[in-house]
A and B are shown apart, each in its own frame.
Chain A
Amino acid sequence: MFGIELSMIWAVLIAVAVFLYVALDGFDLGVGILFPFAKDSHERDQMQSAIAPVWDGNETWLVLGGGGLFAAFPKAYAALMPALYLPIFLMLLALIFRGVAFEFRHHGRKSGKKWWTIAFSGGSIVAAAAQGLVLGAFIQGVNVVDGEFVGGALDWLTPFSLLVAASLVAGYALLGAGWLVFRTQGELFERARGWVKQLALLTALGMGAVSLATLGVDPRVTYRWGLTMTSVDWETFIVLAPLPLVAGGLCFLLWRGADKGQHLQPYLYTVCLFLVGYVGLAISLWPYIVPFAMTPSEAAAADNALALMLWGALPMLPLILGYTAYVYWLFRAKVSDEAAYH
């Protein structure tokens, strides 16, 4: 269609869905990660109010990511999911606790509320870490023979995947802090500004470490960036070198934004930072949809299935983005004690 392979269009669409998930549910999970650092129960109520109307829509991007992978790239889905069995399972469990805690926290009485507060926070932390493990295991590649996963149950557990998990927890916390700067005021706003500054540093460190480690997972990645053990292909490297520089610049901007008391900018800069990391990753792993084993065209569903879905996605995605934007606009005001009533 339009001279481009359908499988490539769908690879891009799913990549966009996953990115939207990270940018949106990332701040929900981040707020949960920051729960233990709140002053008191009332402050945690405010933090949850800042995300309660939108979290469900945000999580739906994860369903589109999973469901879309199944529908558009069934062979990639069939190869990846068994390989990632345990971290995916961990993520689903954590998302259960996180998701029900939105309602349960306010129906529980004294001990119940305490327990669901822990469940919300623990669920957010574990879900973020599990997604990091999934990402780490994905980047380091999956052992596939004839389209079927042939590795062990714990292949995903490596120092690299643990590093990615830790970095992603920090990154989500940064998104959450940025979101709280946008949606809260007063004491909590001040506290969130402080979190942004600390987490910007932590996230920058994590991203740097993951980027360097990614260069080591496979010679193809190193080569992509124009590097080998002994030499540098300057022509390739120079083209790509701006990415880490832009990332560094964004970290500085968001740190300064929080310092100056800007409201929406810290969150937006963080999203841009994630985008830079995401693009860098895409460059590293291109053209694989299952790293080092399958390309989109090898993993794709039949063309008529991809075409049918594209005809649905073309009108539906703008519509979805439209009403999602409307809901965000509706709940754009700062959370306050009165905010919930008006």
Chain B
Amino acid sequence: MDFDALLLSRLQFAFTIGFHIIFPAFTIGLASFLAVLEGLWLFTKKPVFRNLYLFWVKIFALSFGMGVVSGVVMSYQFGTNWSVFSAQVGSVIGPLLAYEVLTAFFLEASFLGVMLFGWKKVGPKLHFFATCMVAIGTLISSFWILAANSWMQTPQGFDFAADGTMVATDFMQVIFNPSLPTRLMHMVLAAFLTTAMVVAGASAFGLLKKKALPESRTALRMAILMMALVAPLQLVIGHQSGEVAHRYQPAKVAAMEGWWETQSQQPTLLFGWPDEDAEATHAAIGIPGMGSWFVAGDANAELQGLKAFAKEDRPPVWITFWAFRVMVGMGLIMIALGLWGATLWFLKRVDGATLYQRALVLAAPSGFIAVLAGWIAAEVGRQPYVVYGVLRTADAVSPVPAGSVATSLLVFMVVYAIVFSAGALYILRLMAAGPDTDEPPPKETSEPPGSPLATGVKSAADKGA
């Protein structure tokens, strides 16, 4: 394979967006969790909610910061590496991204300052308002970015101008394209689940280490509630998203399922080794007819296999196939953990269930893995197109020399490795320490959680300086 500017740009985009999506996936859910915690603190005045808020907001600040810096990279990378794409589709999805900045990014960034540094500067209600604005901002942001990405998956409402670029004929059709509703739901639920798994893992760790017991017990129950309700719902939404993909992107579904022949009674493969040269999936173990039944609602439905598409129109099969399985596998684990937790809760045995708590610690990253795998399946499965059926990825790349892209890719890898390892270390350290649970009078715990000066002075005091 030639390491030309195209391949390098694809690798760079995959690498930078892969790293980026980890943070929004976490902070979308965490912002809403924080809003709920602060609301409960205001409403019930139970210190446990305040302690939890002040604990998770520190982790939020770290994650959000990493999301911001890796996100700024994305807004310039469209132009630096995919300039032909930018010129081609700017008139169609450009406004969606502009709306994202105008309606979400400023809202999040401005009220984040109040959220982190305004704990004692504004009243509790205004502070709660700021937290809500940040949470709403993350959700608005997901709407616009999913609208843009879904349009690239299922484009409609556009035409070609005289100069060959695309223009929208109907922006309502562009925004509310066929795959938007299910994909948006799928992503937001995924973000909630990702956060729930992290909160569950950290709280279970606290219980195992006998730290911050009231806080850990409360947070664990909140996480179990989220898992038990949302993980099964996610299965349903994911299934609907698959139906939409089958209608508009049959080649993607065929690659996800590892189907080569067009036939009725398509199987659901539990295992297999797709081989693009042999045009077959080796060592396939599956349930015949289940695939057809899942996707089309009828076990005898005839569904297209990959051979129905010209070789140059097929996505890379192995990656799509396995990424899809990893995502579904993680989803099933979350459903199981949710049911297990709900059962323990019902039996009033959550707090002593060390085996369950260990399992939760182990499963803490499952949401991240599922989100990454799901996006890989969605994006690789869309290949060889960047705008499905309209613009090929190979035709979208910038006229930049491979040397420039190789340099930026290598340096990005090194820098991200350093920066995000450090971030992960700091987050894990915070989690290991757990929430402050000693209950001094409210005034003293009310230091602004993200304040550099507060932390600086505090750590200096800790050292006895």
Q: Specify the chain B residue showing the minimal Cβ separation from A109.
A: B459
Asked if A12 CB lies within 8 Å of chain B CBs, one says no
Closest beta carbon of chain B to A119's beta carbon, Å = 9
B165 x A74 contact (CB < 8 A): yes
Contact-residue bracket for chain B: 35 or more
Assuming A104-B426, A330-B122, is B72 touching A324 (CB within 8 A)? no
Chain B 127-166 against A: per-residue CB contact (8 Å), 1 yes, 0 no?
A: 0000000000000000000000000000000000100010
In the complex, identify which listed stretch (A84-92, A237-245, A275-283, A285-293) lies at the interface while the others stay far away: A84-92
Which secondary structure dominates where chain B touches chain A?
Answer: helix
Q: Which of B66, B70, B75, B455 has the most CB of A within 10 A?
A: B75
State A67–B399 Cα separation when bound (angstroms): 20
Nearest A residue (CB) for B92: A305
Inter-chain contacts of B412 with A (CB < 8 A): 93
Are B83 and A82 in contact, with the CB atoms below 8 A?
yes
- The distance in angstroms between the C-alpha atoms of A252 and B57, with both chains bound, is 45
User: Chain B residues with Cβ under 8 A from A309's Cβ?
Assistant: 94-95, 98-99
**Which A residues touch B106, using CB under 8 A?**
57, 60, 64, 320, 323-324
Tell yes or no: B287 within 8 A of A by CB. no
B219 within 8 A of A: no
Instruction: Note all chain B residues with C-beta closer than 8 A to A312.
Output: 95, 98-99, 102-103
**Which residue of chain A has its CB nearest to the CB of B117?**
A53
CA distance A42 to B408 in the complex (A): 35
The answer to whether A305 and B101 touch across the interface, beta carbons within 8 angstroms, is: no
Contacts A149-B399, A330-B121; A96 near B103 (Cβ below 8 A): no
Known: A100-B419, A150-B399, A312-B103. A81 touches B79 (CB 8 A): yes
Q: Mark B397-439, 1 if CB is under 8 A from A, else 0.
A: 0111101100110011001000100110010011000000000
* A53 to B450 alpha-carbon distance, docked (Å): 9
B451 near A86: Cβ-Cβ < 8 Å: no
| Candidate in A45, A46, A112, A339 with the most chain B CB atoms within 10 angstroms | A45
Question: Chain A interface residue count: which class?
Answer: 35 or more
Contact of B167 among A80, A88, A304, A330 (CB under 8 A): A304
Shortest C-beta distance, B411 to chain A (Å), equals 7
- If A85-B80, A305-B92 touch, whether A106 touches B456 (CB-CB below 8 Å) is yes
Q: What A residues does B457 contact at CB under 8 A?
A: 45, 337, 340
B452 contacts A305, CB within 8 Å?
no
Any chain A CB within 8 A of the CB of B233? Answer: no
Known contacts being A99-B68, A148-B399, is A104 close to B95, with CB within 8 Å? no
B408 engages A89 (CB within 8 Å): yes
Cα distance, A341 to B430, chains bound together (Å): 21
Could you say which of B73, B105, B400, B456 contacts A42, with CB atoms under 8 Å apart?
Answer: B456
Q: Shortest distance in angstroms between A21's beta carbon and chain B's nearest beta carbon?
A: 12
List, in ascending order, chain B residues with CB within 8 A of A327's CB.
110-111, 113-114
Q: How far is the CA of A85 from the CA of B87 in the complex (A)?
A: 16
A179 at the interface (CB under 8 A from B): no
The distance from the CB of B156 to the nearest CB of chain A, in whole angstroms, is 15
Q: How far is the CB of A108 from chain B (nearest CB, A)?
A: 8
Identify which of residues 48-106 in chain A touch chain B, using a CB-to-CB cut-off of 8 Å.
48-49, 52-54, 56-57, 59-60, 62-64, 66-75, 77-82, 84-86, 88-89, 92-93, 95-97, 99-100, 102-106
CB pair B456 A102 closer than 8 Å = no
**B69 and A342 form a contact (CB under 8 A):** no
Partner of A59, one of B68, B91, B411: B68
Whether the pair B455, A106 counts as a contact (CB closer than 8 A) is yes
Residue in A closest to B116 when the chains form the complex, CB atoms: A53
User: In the complex, what's the smallest C-beta–C-beta distance from B87 to chain A, in angstroms?
Assistant: 4
A153 within 8 A of B: yes
| A67 close to B87 (CB less than 8 A) | no
Q: Given contacts A85-B400, A104-B423, is CB(A56)–CB(B83) below 8 Å? A: no
Give the contacting residue for B94; candidates A52, A72, A112; CB below 8 A.
Answer: A72
Q: Output the nearest chain B residue to A323 by Cβ-Cβ distance.
A: B110
Q: Determine whether B351 belongs to the interface, using a CB cutoff of 8 Å to chain A.
A: no
Contacts of A52 in B (CB 8 A): 113, 116-117, 450-452
Known: A92-B76, A305-B95. A313 touches B451 (CB 8 A): no
Q: Note all chain B residues with C-beta closer than 8 A to A339.
A: 453
Inter-subunit contact B419/A54 (CB<8 Å): no
- Tell me which of A48, A60, A79, A148 has the highest count of chain B C-beta atoms within 10 A of its own C-beta: A60
Does B61 lie at the interface of the complex (its beta carbon under 8 Å from any beta carbon of A)? yes
Contact B65 A102 (CB under 8 A): yes
Check: A223 CB closer than 8 A to any chain B CB. Answer: no
Across the interface, do B422 and A89 meet the contact criterion of CB distance under 8 Å? no
Q: Are B101 and A341 in contact (CB under 8 A)?
A: no
In the bound complex, do residue B452 and residue A56 qualify as a contact, i.e. CB atoms below 8 Å apart? no
A193: min CB distance to chain B, Å: 21
Whether a CB of chain B sits under 8 angstroms from the CB of A273 is no
Query: Does A63 contact B105, Cβ atoms closer than 8 Å?
Result: yes
Q: Are B65 and A88 in contact (CB under 8 A)?
A: no
A100–B424 alpha-carbon span in the complex (Å): 12
Residue of A nearest to B133 (CB): A323
A71–B98 contact, CB under 8 A? yes
User: What residues on A are CB-neighbors of B75 within 8 Å?
Assistant: 63, 66-67, 70
Q: Is B273 an interface position by the 8 A CB rule? A: no
> A331 contacts B455, CB within 8 Å?
no
Q: A93-B415, A107-B426 are in contact. Are A330 and B118 (CB under 8 A)?
A: yes
The answer to whether A99 touches B400, judged by C-beta atoms less than 8 angstroms apart, is no
A100 and B423 within 8 A (CB)? yes
**Nearest CB to that of B447 among chain A residues?**
A341
A340 touches B83 (CB 8 A): no
Q: Which of the residues B89, B100, B121 comes within 8 Å of A331, measured between beta carbons?
A: B121
When distances are taken between beta carbons in the complex, the residues of chain B under 8 Å from A153 are 400-401, 403-404
A154 to chain B, nearest CB (A): 9
**A335, CB-defined interface residue at 8 Å:** yes
Interface residue B37 (Cβ < 8 Å from any Cβ of A)? no
Question: Is A210 on the interface with B (CB-CB < 8 A)?
Answer: no
Interface assignment of A147: CB less than 8 Å from any CB of chain B: yes
Check if B453 sits within 8 Å of A46, measured CB to CB. Answer: yes
The 3 closest A-B pairs by CB, nearest first: A74-B90, A81-B79, A71-B94
Known: A72-B94, A81-B78, A309-B95. 20 other contacts (CB 8 A): A53-B114, A57-B110, A64-B98, A64-B101, A70-B79, A70-B94, A74-B90, A81-B398, A85-B398, A89-B80, A95-B72, A103-B426, A106-B452, A304-B171, A313-B98, A320-B107, A323-B107, A324-B110, A330-B121, A340-B453
